[in-house]
Structure 1
Amino acid sequence: MEDNLLLLSNSQTHGMAMFEHARDALSDFLAGRHTLYFAPYAGSDYDGYTQTIKTALKPFGVTVIGLHTVTDLQQTLQAAEVLFVGGGNSFRLLKTLEQLDMLAPVRERVSRGELRYMGSSAGTNMACPTMRTTNDMPIVQPNSFASFNLIPFQINPHYQDPLPASTHMGETREERIREFLDENNVPVLGLREGSWLRKRGTQLHLDGLANARLFRRHTDPQEYTPGTDLSWLLTEKAIFDQKA
């Protein structure tokens, strides 16, 4: 079996219902699956967040179960077929994943092709080697920045281009990513809202409603259109600053 990932920049696109922009991708990803376990840990209202996801995924014919409601988390992780890690605050999410000892079990089962992984926003950030390219404030402190490491490059969800007429004097998203590349030699894919990645084994494709922007050290950013084969990114070597 091969690993199977669906990594969404966002779960809701402006003017559309939740997941409407990725309806076909979700239908394909969930085909033949009846139960999806949801990790609501990036938010604070676990029950409310889970109910929102239940309602949004009802048209896809899957039963959604919040991981916070199961009696034996580790046993559930060993038996689950689909895991969805939702968005919210990446620091809070990673700290909870660490506390629940979820990182290694999920990584191992996904790598063996036994567990399908779906992420959105912070959940997509967790699929990277580290959470260092999140947009979030560090409202809590995890033990490490290391996350699930399901792909060998970084993603910046909700990537936004600089606004030409803006008078804002703070750093743009591009400037912050370039700062990251000063210290870490690893590609960063800026996923604009409405876009996603689909990984099947050694194959990786960009899809969705918007282009993605790839940043690499000492290289001009590159634009990629939906439908582009990005499988070569899976062979890239990442060099992180080990002090952080």
Structure 2
Amino acid sequence: MRLLLISNSTNAGEAYLEYPKHEIGKFLEGVDEAMFVPYAAVTFSFDEYLAKVQARFAEIGVGVRSVHRESNPAGALRRARAIVVGGGNTFRLVKTMQEQGLMQVIRERVPEGVPYVGWSAGSNVACPTICTTNDMPIVEPASFNAAGLVPFQINPHYLDAHPDGHAGETREQRILEYIAANPDMYAVGLREGCMLRFEDGVLTLVGGRPMRIFRHGERPYEVNPGDDLSFLL
């Protein structure tokens, strides 16, 4: 199984997918076309989303088609040489994927070796559930269950900040609530500019920032690029 799970699509001041494009290019080496799932888009069209991704992927020599243009989205995904799931609203994404049977296709095809690339909501979809998304539930999916490609939960866009004057919960406190309710699960805070790569049975943190680890009964702690992450598997 091959996974590239990216925290965010865009760093401040950069073009769309600029920072991860070289990692995506290396990860998809030898793949000439990927099938894109755009259903996390809410305030812009699926065609607009596809055009943005096509423009960036053209720079790494990978063509992109989208399931929303296919008469049989599940069938098209089943034939894909690579699967790419974009960010946006996780609830909208999962609801549509469930309705079209795409989640089951991913559960079947990715363990067979089809490479999977996701960012933000697309990384949430790789987890057992979407319970550690940051998004508002603007629609109601059939369940919170996701593809379960990894056995732990990801919180993309993880932030340490507690803004001045804000008396509410921090991101860390919200994740601590999750692991209190789900004591057998690890959750990871994946900071922006970072990604997780899984290849040849090895999970690797890529990027210039540490990742925060949450487990019930343990104090949250940091791991760095190059650290052994096998405990998450």
Q: Is the 8 A contact 1:9 1:121 kept in 2?
A: yes
Match of 1:82 in 2: 82
Match of 1:110 in 2: 110
Instruction: Please report how far the alpha carbon of residue 170 of structure 1 lies from its aligned counterpart in structure 2 after TM superposition.
Output: 1.3
Rounded Cα–Cα distance in structure 1 between residues aligned with 2:75 and 2:144: 25
Between Structure 1 and Structure 2, how many residues are aligned?
Answer: 230
**Identity of counterpart residues, as a percentage?**
44
Rounded Cα–Cα distance in structure 2 between residues aligned with 1:131 and 1:99: 16
Instruction: Please report how far the alpha carbon of residue 208 of structure 1 lies from its aligned counterpart in structure 2 after TM superposition.
Output: 1.1
Q: Is the 8 A contact 2:21 2:57 kept in 1?
A: no
Instruction: Please report how far the alpha carbon of residue 201 of structure 1 lies from its aligned counterpart in structure 2 after TM superposition.
Output: 3.9
Counterpart amino acid of 1:200?
Answer: E
Counterpart amino acid of 1:213?
Answer: R
Residues 190-234 of structure 1, C-alpha deviation per residue, up to 9 Å, x if partnerless?
000000000014210001132111111011111111233312211
The runs of at least 4 consecutive aligned structure 1 residues that moved more than 3 Å come to none
- State the SS of the aligned residue for 2:219: strand
Say yes or no: does 1:63 pair with 2:63: yes
**What is the TM-score with the length of structure 1 in the denominator?**
0.91
Across the aligned residues of Structure 1 and Structure 2, the Cα RMSD in angstroms comes to 1.2
Aligned runs of 1:151-190 on 2, under 5 Å? 151-163=150-162, 166-185=164-183, 186-190=185-189
Counterpart amino acid of 1:129?
Answer: P
Moved more, 62-71 or 4-13: 62-71
- State the SS of the aligned residue for 2:35: strand
Gaps of 5+ in 1: 235-244
Match of 2:52 in 1: 52
Q: Is the 8 A contact 2:191 2:211 kept in 1?
A: yes
Rounded Cα–Cα distance in structure 2 between residues aligned with 1:48 and 1:24: 22
Match of 2:99 in 1: 99
Instruction: Please report how far the alpha carbon of residue 119 of structure 1 lies from its aligned counterpart in structure 2 after TM superposition.
Output: 0.5
- State the SS of the aligned residue for 2:77: helix
**What is the TM-score with the length of structure 2 in the denominator?**
0.95
Q: Is the 8 A contact 1:206 1:229 kept in 2?
A: no
- State the SS of the aligned residue for 1:56: helix
Rounded Cα–Cα distance in structure 1 between residues aligned with 2:48 and 2:61: 20
